[in-house]
Amino acid sequence: MTDKAPQPSPIFKPLYKQVQELITERIIEGVWKPGEILPSEFQLADLLGVSQGTVRKALNALTEDNVLFRRQGVGTFVSEHTLQKMMFHFFHFKSDSGDIPELPYAQLLETRLITPDDNLRSLFTIAADEKVIEIHRVRSINNTASIRELIYLPHRYFADLDKEEKLPHSLYHYYQQHFNITVHKATDRLKAVLADEQDQSVLNIAAGQPLLEVSRTARALDGRTVEYRISRANSQNLHYLVELN
């Protein structure tokens, strides 16, 4: 017997988990782009030097996590942020009169490069001398300005986006297509706030009117925080809907 404490053993990962990570890495690197079909299970098994059963288990896990999707009789594809998926997964504001059939119109007010404060530097894990892109826009629902958005992006991931004069309504699809960044998970935090001067001007509302503020932290496939978004909504005719399955 000795008093020597036992040494921690290396963390073991099942082989299918290792294959799952390898496939994810190749998607991040752009080997397989959003919407593209992957090689067959047999080809992937040969490429990665594992059994076809191991590949199938990895693909099943990635499909359950919405990184991939399958078309019966066709193959396995890299998931893409279409407008329909955007509405279901990431846009939760709904009109009190009924569900919104499409993404609300987004008008770009200003895009600029800023020096981030301590909170943004910590959130994005960036150095003090790095820049952040700030996007200011307003969303209209039923032809009424309803949501004021401030969106923050690390310049290192979205180089020259601040120079664009126009941006699409669906930014997550744009991130995929132009920067190979897939927003995979997001955390929303809700609280009640009072309208400030900018809210009043943009949303055409009275001073001190209650608003619903949603702050979102969005992460990419590899866990990087790639976007911080603050949405301030005039909730007189809107509600925030989350459906749990």
> Tens digit of pLDDT for each residue in 103-143?
678 999 999 999 999 999 999 999 989 999 999 999 998 88
- Report H helices in the chain: 15-28, 41-48, 52-64, 83-89, 118-124, 171-179, 197-203
**Terminus-to-terminus CA distance in the chain, angstroms?**
53
Contact status, residue 225 vs residue 218, Cβ threshold 8 Å: yes
Contact predicate 54/15, CB 8 Å = yes
Domain map (residue ranges) of the chain: 15-78, 83-240
Q: Which fold has domain 83-240?
A: Chorismate lyase (3.40.1410)
pLDDT of residue 108: 96
Q: Is 139 exposed, middle or buried (0-12, 13-18, 19+ CB in 10 A)?
A: buried
Supply the pLDDT for residue 33: 87
Q: What is the distance between the alpha carbons of residues 218 and 208, in angstroms, rounded to a whole number?
A: 29
Average pLDDT over the chain reads: 87
pLDDT of residue 58: 93
- The whole-number average pLDDT for the span 193-211 is 94
d(CA 33, CA 25): 12
Q: What is the pLDDT of residue 196?
A: 94
- Mark 35-60 as b/e (b = at least 16 C-beta within 10 Å): eeebeebeebbeebebeeebbbbbbe
pLDDT at 9 over 50: no
What is the separation of C-alpha 220 from the centre of its chain, rounded to a whole number of angstroms?
Answer: 6
Per-residue CA distances from 46 to 13, 62, 194, 217 (Å) = 21, 19, 59, 38
CATH 3.40.47.10 fits domain 15-78? no
Considering 27-31, 88-92, 140-144, 160-164, the range whose residues carry the highest mean pLDDT is 160-164
State yes or no: pLDDT of 200 exceeds 60. Answer: yes
Q: What pTM does this model have?
A: 0.81
